[in-house]
Amino acid sequence: MKTRHFAIAVLAAFLTTVAAHAADRVPPHPYIEIETSEGRILLELDGRAAPITVAHVLELVDSGFYEGLIFHRVVEGFMIQTGGFTPGFKRKEDDEKIPNESGNGLSNLRGTVAMARTSDPHSANSQFYINVADNVRLDPNKSPGNGGWGYTVFGVVIEGMEVVDKIASVPTGPQQGQRSAPLVPIIIKSMRRYTFE
């Protein structure tokens, strides 16, 4: 038990150091504009609450990584997810896995944006989802699994929630290994930083 507590303390100290370094190089509240085949969504990211995650996402955005990807998982009343597949469900991933920042005080509420991951809490890569309902069960310490880790919230929709709701309501079904994918592909035409004039 002492070994486990020590390991957790070491990990916490490491994440704190990495987060502090990331916070120095990421804007506090960058904006991201997503043009989809269903309309425009504008996000405000929180570079202070989730500096590692925001820095990683901004790198992907700046590289054009997300352009042409689809929303591959859509669950009405829950969330819409993207960032990992091209049309035809060919997987596309970045090589880097990032540490979990779910203990940052941000909650999986309607309109928030969070990182998707596997059962490994520190496996977030490029996929993210937008909550279409309050999903606080995805916050840390809500389940006994994975040491209480949750899903990292790193931003919020500030314009275009009606587009999110529209995507969440499209017909879905099993496709290419995905259990709940839109029957007609919903594509990210562009995803880039946005500046208010």
Could you state, in order of their start, the residue ranges of all structural domains in the chain?
2-194
CATH class belonging to 2-194:
mainly beta
Residue range 40-51: mean pLDDT, rounded: 98
Query: Do the Cβ atoms of 182 and 139 come closer than 8 Å?
Result: no
Given a cut of 50, whether residue 110 has pLDDT beyond it is yes
Residue range 129-147: mean pLDDT, rounded: 84
Given a cut of 90, whether residue 97 has pLDDT beyond it is yes
Please report, in angstroms and rounded to a whole number, the separation of the first and last CA atoms in the chain: 55
Helix ranges, 75-157 (H): none
**Using CA atoms, how far apart are residues 140 and 145, in angstroms rounded to an integer?**
10
47-51, 89-93, 129-133, 147-151: segment of lowest average pLDDT? 147-151
The one-letter amino acid at 91: R
Residue range 76-85: mean pLDDT, rounded: 98
183 vs 7, higher pLDDT = 183
34 vs 14, higher pLDDT = 34
**Using CA atoms, how far apart are residues 34 and 121, in angstroms rounded to an integer?**
26
pLDDT at residue number 77 = 97
Query: Do the Cβ atoms of 160 and 31 come closer than 8 Å?
Result: no
pLDDT at residue number 23 = 58
Helix, strand, or coil (residue 137): helix
The number of angstroms, rounded, from the C-alpha of 174 to the middle of its chain's C-alpha atoms is: 22
Percent of the chain with pLDDT over 90: 81
Q: Which helix (H) or strand (E) segment is 155 a member of? A: strand 153-159
Given a cut of 80, whether residue 149 has pLDDT beyond it is yes
Tokens representing 179 are 């259990």
Angle at 94 between CA 154 and CA 72, to 5 degrees: 70
Average pLDDT, the chain: 90
pLDDT at residue number 144 = 56
DSSP assigned state of 187:
B
Given a cut of 50, whether residue 7 has pLDDT beyond it is no
Give the predicted TM-score (pTM) of the model. 0.87
Q: 86 has which bridge partners?
A: 90
